[in-house]
Chains A and B, each alone.
Chain A
Amino acid sequence: MMTQANVVIIGGGISGASIAYHLAEAGVKDIVVLEKHYMTYGATGRCGAGVRQQWGTRMNCLLAKKSVAFFEKAQEILAYDGDIEFKQEGYLIVASDEAEAKTFAAHVALQNSLGIPARVCTKEEARAIVPHLNTDAIHSATFCPTDGHLNPFTMTDAFFKAAKRLGVHYYDHTAVTDIRRQNGQIEGVMTQHGFIKTNTVVNAAGGWAKDIGAMVGLDIPVYSRNHEILVTEPVEKMQGPMVISFSKNIYCQQTPHGAFIMGRGDKDAPKGLDMGSSWQFLEAMAKTVSDLLPPVGELRVIRQWGGLYNMSPDHQPIISASRDVPGFYIACGFSGHGFMLAPMTGLLIREMILGQTPSMPLEALSLERFEGQEIEELETSVV
């Protein structure tokens, strides 16, 4: 194992992989990535594999739009020998009533102003896009044709393979036990397999980011919560877009492989690191999907699991340098959407570390934005 590094990245999910790649691509040498379990053990490998640009805040829209532009070329940029399975067949976001439709119309106006090609649809237009949609259960919808599906495993693998070719050192089954400091400066990272001397650490630990922050005395205002999900047997293609509803609490898509993936949140689930599966989720999911997308009810569930949303106070990510701990960088609090924003996470952290001009204003992503502040702009488009 390396005993010295220019940058140590903690977390072997999509964020850590993208940060490692972007730094290495800019010529940084001796980069180490540490993963406690195995690649995509955490939220990345447990997510719904969706990529969308239909957000309610300007910051999330911009991060998502620029990330989609990367995903469109990722297979070539990263020279990946597998398939990242990026399929742009859209997200259909259904509104349950007039009030929700009104909110969505305002979101679409924001998205359009930023160049995102979303549009409002009537029930009939929505049914033309997803023929088996039960339009009696909805008021209207919005649709963005360039949203879609991306394989979390192979996308992360693509970043890591490219990063390794550029010299990045990746160690899995290597837990971080402490971050050592001297006079406020980071000295290095202690792992279960030894000490790595470094002045620069990136916290990309997802559901565990708060614990990593505590190692340098930071109280990052995030918490984790289990969100459950299931997958069906694979069947012939019957649904192109992701269908999603915030008020009905469901997202559901058919992957290119043929299986349907669907999930929902539970606002009463305890905060913490539990990632278990429950019958309560299964029942609620079966009812919701059978009502909204009746033919999907005919499919057999073959597996269910859970994963952690790392929630920030305004449901937007924290992509930030620490003011109080020089050399400590944070990429967490993605509130369930770190996978689809990862290209921008990697780029922005690289720009911070190398002192490059940021690709977008960073204030709305900073850790310090929460200090004594009322939440200025809350993202509500979260399942």
Chain B
Amino acid sequence: MDNMNPKEIVICRCSDVTLADLFALFEQGYRTFEELKRIKRVGMGPCQANTCGKMVQWEIAKYFDIPLEEALFHNLRPFTLGIKLKHIKEGSDT
């Protein structure tokens, strides 16, 4: 891991956010998952942070040297999986 370039480590695959992007945001003073989401769209893509969420949380804890449980996870919202609008419409018609 040590010889890997943070610019080449993709944390959020949906929104193309690298570890270097996270470091840059940390340095600017953004320190919570919710702020990272709002500025860089981390965890806002189709997977809804199911892929990157734990990694983001871990990187926040490491960077600010705080216990993992203090690096709060983002606010979980529906849905778990993407569903087509027309399927929701059809489902409610029957």
A interface residues, Cβ below 8 angstroms from B: 37-41, 45, 82, 153-154, 157, 232-234, 257, 277, 282-283, 285-287, 289-290, 296-305
Residue numbers in A under 8 Å from B34 (CB-CB):
37-38, 41
Residue numbers in B under 8 Å from A157 (CB-CB):
38-39
The answer to whether residues A38 and B88 also contact, given A303-B77, A303-B78 and a CB cut-off of 8 A, is: no
Residue in chain B with minimal CB distance to A257? B41
Contact of A301 among B32, B38, B83 (CB under 8 A): B83
Contact of B79 among A45, A154, A298, A301 (CB under 8 A): A301
Contact across chains for B89 and A39 when beta carbons are under 8 A apart: no
Residue in chain A with minimal CB distance to B29? A164
Q: Would you list which residues of chain B between 40 and 61 have a CB under 8 Å from chain A?
A: 41, 44-46, 48
Contact across chains for A301 and B86 when beta carbons are under 8 A apart: no
Contact of B88 among A40, A154, A282 (CB under 8 A): A282
Q: Would you list which residues of chain B between 51 and 94 have a CB under 8 Å from chain A?
A: 77-79, 82-86, 88-89, 92
B interface residues, Cβ below 8 angstroms from A: 32, 34-35, 38-39, 41, 44-46, 48, 77-79, 82-86, 88-89, 92
Known: A154-B39, A283-B92, A305-B77. 5 other contacts (CB 8 A): A38-B34, A301-B82, A302-B48, A302-B79, A303-B79
Q: How far is the CA of A301 from the CA of B48 in the complex (A)?
A: 11
Residue in chain B with minimal CB distance to A289? B85
Residue numbers in B under 8 Å from A303 (CB-CB):
44, 48, 77-79
Residue numbers in A under 8 Å from B84 (CB-CB):
297-301
Contact of A286 among B35, B79, B82, B89 (CB under 8 A): B89
Contact across chains for A304 and B83 when beta carbons are under 8 A apart: no
Contact across chains for B45 and A301 when beta carbons are under 8 A apart: no
Contact of A233 among B46, B77, B86 (CB under 8 A): B46
Q: What is the minimal beta-carbon distance from B16 to any residue of chain A, in angstroms?
A: 11
Contact across chains for A39 and B35 when beta carbons are under 8 A apart: yes
Contact across chains for A302 and B46 when beta carbons are under 8 A apart: yes
Residue in chain A with minimal CB distance to B47? A302
